Amino acid sequence: MKKSIVIGSVIISSAVASLAYCSGGGEYEGSKWFKPRPDVAPVTNQLYKNECASCHMGYQPGLLPERSWQKLMTGLDDHFSDNAELTAESYTAILNYLTDNAADKSDYKRSRRIANSLAADDTPLRITDTDYFKRKHRELSLTTITHNAEIGSISNCIACHSQADKGSFNENEIRIPGALGRWD
């Protein structure tokens, strides 16, 4: 009787340890047994991809709260010094997509953390202005980024986060172009 309890305990402990390892992004990531969930919901709206991601990375709606997307969309005639105006129909469809999937409405891990890092009256227009983003990138000097021709700007997520376009910002996937290489 005692022997079967011990064996059962060992099996259960091993199973729990394996699950904990896999959910932490272990070596089984991407296998048929374990498909990790991205940190933020990937962009799924084709109109948004066509209109917005044609000029810059299609930032996932879960990277900013609803109020930020609303404010950002009201100034498309001067969108970071560019005119990004849309037809009324496209404007409404994209605004709805962004606000319906914003960080403060998302159940994705990183989106929730971004939303929770903001004060109720904080309406950042740039992801790089969120406290969460600043905290996660505090070890990088701005000079390291801006003086690297392969990156150019802190807002060029895909330059270092190899799976950013899929909604994954996992530290294991960071490759900083140039001398820094893999991020540890």
144-182 tens-digit pLDDT: 788 889 888 889 999 999 999 999 998 888 988 876 655
Number of Cα atoms under 13 Å in the Cβ half of residue 154? 16
Q: To the nearest whole number, what is the mean pLDDT of the chain?
A: 83
Choice between 17 and 121, residue whose per-residue pLDDT is larger: 121
Q: Is residue 19's pLDDT more than 50?
A: no
CB distance 170 to 109 below 8 Å: no
Cβ-contact 102, 64 below 8 angstroms: yes
- pLDDT-derived band at 55 (thresholds 50, 70, 90) equals confident
**How many CA atoms lie within 13 Å of 149's alpha carbon, on the beta-carbon side?**
0
Q: 24-33, 80-89, 134-143: which has the minimum mean pLDDT? A: 24-33
| Residue of higher predicted confidence among 121 and 35 | 121
Helix axes 66-74, 88-100, angle to 10 degrees: 160
Q: What is the mean pLDDT of residues 13-29?
A: 44
pTM over 0.85: no
User: How would you class 14 by CB atoms within 10 Å of its CB: exposed for 0-12, middle for 13-18, buried for 19 or more?
Assistant: exposed
Q: Is the pLDDT of residue 107 over 90?
A: yes
pLDDT of residue 37: 79
The Cα 180–Cα 139 span in angstroms is: 12
More confident residue, 56 or 63: 63
**Could you tell me which residues come within 8 angstroms of residue 34 by beta carbon, excluding any fewer than 6 positions away?**
22, 23, 28
Cα 68 to Cα 62, 74, 168: the distances in Å are 11, 10, 21
| pLDDT at 5 (0 to 100) | 60
| Ramachandran angles phi, psi of 13, nearest 5° | -60, -40
Contact 104, 66 (CB under 8 A): yes
What is the spatial distance between Cα 128 and Cα 64, in angstroms, rounded to a whole number? 10
Residue 61 in this model has a pLDDT that exceeds 50: yes
Which pLDDT value is given to residue 70? Answer: 97
Terminal C-alpha separation, the chain: 47
At residue 178, the pLDDT reads: 77
Q: What is the pLDDT of residue 1?
A: 58
Confidence of residue 184 (pLDDT cuts 50, 70, 90): low
Give the CA distances from residue 181 to residues 57, 72, 129, 160, 174, in Å, rounded to whole numbers and listed in that order: 21, 33, 25, 9, 8
User: Among candidates 108, 171, 181, 103, which has minimal Cα distance to 137?
Assistant: 171
pLDDT of 168: 93
